[in-house]
Structure 1
Amino acid sequence: MTVVQTKLGKIRGIRYPNYDVFKGIPFAQPPIDTQRFCHAQPITSCWTGELDATCFGSVPLQPMNTLESFFSVRDILPVQDEDCLTLNIWRPSNHKTNTQLPVIFYIYGGSFVNGHSAQDLYQPDMIVQQEDVIVVTCNYRIGALGFLDWSAINPSWDSNNGLSDLICALQWIHTHIAAFGGDPTHITLMGQSAGAMSIQALLQLPSVQLYVHNAVMLSGILEPDTAQYAKQKAYEFQALKQNLAPNTPWESLTSETLLLLMSEHQAQYGKSKGLEMLYQPITTHNMPIKMNAPLPCPIWIGVTTAEGDIYIKNEQKIIPPKQFQYVLERTGRKIPPIHNITTAQQQRNFITTYYFHEPFHTYVKALSQHTTVYTYTFDWSHPTHPLYHSAYHILDVLFWFGRLDIIEAQGAIITEHERCLSQNMIHDLCAFARTSHLPYSHIIYQ
């Protein structure tokens, strides 16, 4: 065991041979009761004794996600609870100098409806064993609780609650990470997919810009909801509640009922594979979030070569072409003729090009006019293994976190090439976190 003294009290974590881990540290007041539909509020009171930080906290409310077991080595069903705002800290235990370490704050993806910080995929044990950095992960509210415009239902409630959770976590890190050996002036935000989109939203807020030194954004370009569209969705949710539980106050709805309402809400829009984000950041008067907005710090941003392959795995998993067109229409994208989106490969290619690669190039061009931007492309694949035949969405995260054991668990052989590739990616990531600089403007990982 290892104990750290913070301004809030002592925190007890787990000591391994080369690193320490602190799990399940509350960073905000529980978002329950009167705070259920409101912005996160910082913790104001200290605790007595030692806070047990040896286990992950409960995970945010969410529907089942089949990808979670695919990107795991353990068959564990985490406990869901609306009281979920906790963070986790990994640090090297053999750091011998008095200098403070740079901090990487990682934000998970999942189309703003799935994800949590206890997933195997996001355990950075390999990073802190290889490099002198501290890595922090956290939970934030997702789905309707995180990204429905609750202010449209009740003026005393809020929108963008999930973003408020991340802001609260970032403030906690800035205030308390020095006690763990971290440098509060050297915080790098890192996120993938919805996590990258969250970073793009957060960095448009002056209150957040004060805390962030760099940002690393993987495979996700933000397209925020307008205030008008967000209100429409809130009214739809309200109408569903009126049908399902008309006599139950919002504060008294069970978590199970909220999940059912989310399911019914999604059903109204039809199948989308996460390509149409029902819940996502909203541009409001208090949070004027824009697409392709300038960001205030050095940025490293990238994509994989075949992002769309994970969305449409085979012919049995295609989105009905007419429904595909409806999704594209609602998200403001070009609508191809039916015969161009009929097969699995056509849909995969369309997603890769128009959801990822074209928005990526447009965004990089816009960012480059205002700040230092580095880019990468991830192009590793395992051609002889059916599960890793192309460099699809999320696959690079396994290498950024050094979680090659997850690939091995699916029966793939990991060679020295894969180990070196992962080590090089981790080294580049931590070098960028330390120096805000990379030796090349574009890096290809393959």
Structure 2
Amino acid sequence: MQEFIAHAPCGAVRGSEDGGVIAWRGIPYAQPPARFSPPMPMQPWSGVRDALEFGPSCPQEDVKRAPMAEDCLYLNIWSPGTAGKRPVMFFIHGGSFAGGSGSEEAYNGANLARNGDVVVVTFNYRVGILGFLDFSFIHDDFHANCGLFDVLEALRWVKANIAAFGGDLDNITVFGQSAGGTITSVLPVLPAARGLFSKCIVMSGGPTLLQGCREGHRTARSFLESAGVRDARGLRSIPAEEIPAFQREFVAHCGLGAGTFRISVDGALVPDYPIAAARTGIAKGIPMLIGTTREEMSFLLIKPLAKALDVDGIMQAGVEHEEDECKERIPLAYRQRYGKRRGQAMMFSDMVFRMGNIWYVQEYGRHCDVWMYRFDYETPAMKVSGLHAFHSSDIPFVFGNFKAGMGKLIFLLSPSMKKVRELSQEMQRDFVSFARTGRAAWPQCRNGDIPAKCYGKRCSVSPAVEEQIVRQYENTHFKKTSFMSSKEE
């Protein structure tokens, strides 16, 4: 077997061929972490370390991601070669901050690295109880946002070592989807992340989906009650293999669903909410590309899912602080524009993702270059199911993996893959071009304008959200709180 050895400051690592590029899997970027504490840098090793298998994922509910272990801080690299200085694309996986792994088949970076002549990095970070519950009130060694600390440590490792894998340490683009998109939206306004990357691509992330310190503590105390744990010793004594069961029971107990685990604005690592922070110009010099799928929340149209998620309850909670006139006007605007059934899904998509993105863009764009996109494409299976361009349906197109993850389902009824491959190539070209140059080929967002490249059967440029819909959110409590600083809480 041909050997592919990279000689990096961390130590020598042996990779293998994968889809026409070299892959290094399971490289430790930090020491095995102490529970609820920030990671410690990995010490260099001697000799040649095999990087042929993925490292364990963080303990979580999905047993398909076995093996799992608290010693989960590993990354993976795909590169066309060790010589040269290629743009680096550092991907942060999603999973509602409760699950996910950089080793998922859908995130295999071979196609993107080969087609774009870039270096692709994926990695694991702590999720769920271990990564995004704030127990700092129990013990001085415990911190909020441990999963976010992991992301920063992975970026530091990449900055220090990626040149040995053919990457340009001065041209690192962070891109992330869903929870990873939310993390990506936070990084440019994070003082601790300054200098670790130069550009970012936010895919279906929510810059308004963070929580305050007090809310984070309430959720953590709720976990203590659910688990029957009283102190730091009790938290440390939970066996790692039992964490997924504790997590499942807690999510059912607390009633927060996908919002159970979130980044906390703790006043330390995360000083403020992204929109308020962007207003200060802290992200200056970091171009951003940000977008969503068209019908992010269309799974709410599927009755069993909608029932399981208590859609009516979620909606009531989302608008409880609004005036009665607003509660009637906004849903009516969506019904009139999209019809009753689809209008509800579009309204949720805007409330959870797009409106927050637009308000972020308007503040971020005062100091930085920013572009928007929207993924509109529907395969026959997406149409028949009624899901349309739903959350995560763009992942196969960005990575070019059509038989993994979501691709196993959405291409089932496609008689030809020609258009799919063409659109995938166009998205990859656009993302790679942005990673290489920090610019996109369509109009950027300026002075409140929100043009977005819409990836459909025919690509076009249109407002990310129609003006008449955007107007509905003016003077709402939702908008006011989205612009709020942590100092105003």
Q: TM-score with structure 1 length normalisation? A: 0.87
Match of 2:273 among 290, 299, 302: 290
Give the deviation of 1:230 after TM superposition: 1.0
Partner Cα distance (1:399, 1:233) in 2: 36
What amino acid maps onto 1:175 in structure 2?
A: A
Deviations 1:145-200 (CA, angstroms, capped at 9, x unpaired):
10111212212211110010000000000000011111111000000111111122
Please say if 1:102 is aligned against 2:100.
Answer: no
Return 357-366 or 370-379, whichever deviates more: 357-366
Give the deviation of 1:105 after TM superposition: 0.3
The 3 A distance-change label for structure 1 pair 212 and 333 is: farther
Give the deviation of 1:440 after TM superposition: 0.7
Please say if 1:2 is aligned against 2:4.
Answer: yes
Give the deviation of 1:134 after TM superposition: 0.2
Match in the other structure for 1:395: 393
Please say if 1:320 is aligned against 2:302.
Answer: no
Partner Cα distance (2:440, 2:62) in 1: 39
Match in the other structure for 1:50: 48
What amino acid maps onto 2:103 in structure 1?
A: A
Match of 2:453 among 440, 443, 446: 443
Match in the other structure for 1:300: 289
What amino acid maps onto 1:443 in structure 2?
A: K
Indicate the SS of the match to 1:203.
helix
Q: Pairwise mapping of residues 330-341 of structure 1 onto structure 2 (< 5 A)? A: 336=327
The 3 A distance-change label for structure 1 pair 177 and 369 is: same
Match of 2:422 among 398, 420, 423: 420
Give the deviation of 1:327 after TM superposition: 4.7
Deviations 1:7-28 (CA, angstroms, capped at 9, x unpaired):
2221011024621000000000
Return 140-149 or 380-389, whichever deviates more: 380-389
Partner Cα distance (1:438, 1:271) in 2: 37
Match of 1:356 among 349, 353, 358: 353
Indicate the SS of the match to 1:376.
strand
Indicate the SS of the match to 1:109.
coil
Partner Cα distance (2:143, 2:438) in 1: 35
Match of 2:221 among 235, 252, 266: 235
Partner Cα distance (1:51, 1:231) in 2: 41
Give the deviation of 1:316 after TM superposition: 1.9
Indicate the SS of the match to 1:177.
helix
Root-mean-square deviation (CA, aligned residues, Å) is: 2.8
Return 111-120 or 285-294, whichever deviates more: 285-294
Aligned-pair identity (%) = 29
**Contact 1:153–1:234 (8 Å) recurs in 2:** no
Deviations 1:98-120 (CA, angstroms, capped at 9, x unpaired):
64111000001111001101111
The 3 A distance-change label for structure 1 pair 260 and 266 is: same
**Contact 1:186–1:212 (8 Å) recurs in 2:** yes
Q: Pairwise mapping of residues 55-204 of structure 1 onto structure 2 (< 5 A)? A: 55-64=53-62, 77-93=65-81, 99-204=84-189
The 3 A distance-change label for structure 1 pair 116 and 48 is: same
Give the deviation of 1:374 after TM superposition: 0.8
What amino acid maps onto 1:291 in structure 2?
A: P
Partner Cα distance (2:435, 2:321) in 1: 34
Partner Cα distance (2:203, 2:16) in 1: 30
Partner Cα distance (2:169, 2:364) in 1: 25
Q: Which runs of 4+ in 1 moved over 6 A?
A: 244-248, 329-335
**Contact 2:90–2:174 (8 Å) recurs in 1:** yes
Match in the other structure for 1:381: 378
Give the deviation of 1:388 after TM superposition: 7.6
Give the deviation of 1:53 after TM superposition: 0.5
Indicate the SS of the match to 1:251.
helix
The 3 A distance-change label for structure 1 pair 248 and 439 is: closer
What amino acid maps onto 2:454 in structure 1?
A: I
**Structure 2: 5+ residue runs without aligned partners?**
333-339, 444-451, 457-489
Partner Cα distance (2:53, 2:191) in 1: 34
Partner Cα distance (1:19, 1:43) in 2: 26
Give the deviation of 1:373 after TM superposition: 0.5
Give the deviation of 1:269 after TM superposition: 3.0
Deviations 1:47-93 (CA, angstroms, capped at 9, x unpaired):
2322110110111111138xxxxxxxxxx543111110000000013
Indicate the SS of the match to 1:152.
coil
Give the deviation of 1:201 after TM superposition: 2.0
What amino acid maps onto 2:348 in structure 1?
A: I
What amino acid maps onto 2:378 in structure 1?
A: S
Partner Cα distance (1:109, 1:331) in 2: 30
Match in the other structure for 2:335: none
Match in the other structure for 1:69: none
Indicate the SS of the match to 2:427.
helix
Match in the other structure for 1:216: 201
Partner Cα distance (1:440, 1:387) in 2: 32
Match in the other structure for 1:24: 26
The 3 A distance-change label for structure 1 pair 252 and 373 is: same
Q: TM-score with structure 2 length normalisation? A: 0.80
Deviations 1:188-242 (CA, angstroms, capped at 9, x unpaired):
000011111112222222231212111000111223211111111122222233x
Partner Cα distance (1:422, 1:333) in 2: 44
**Structure 1: 5+ residue runs without aligned partners?**
66-75
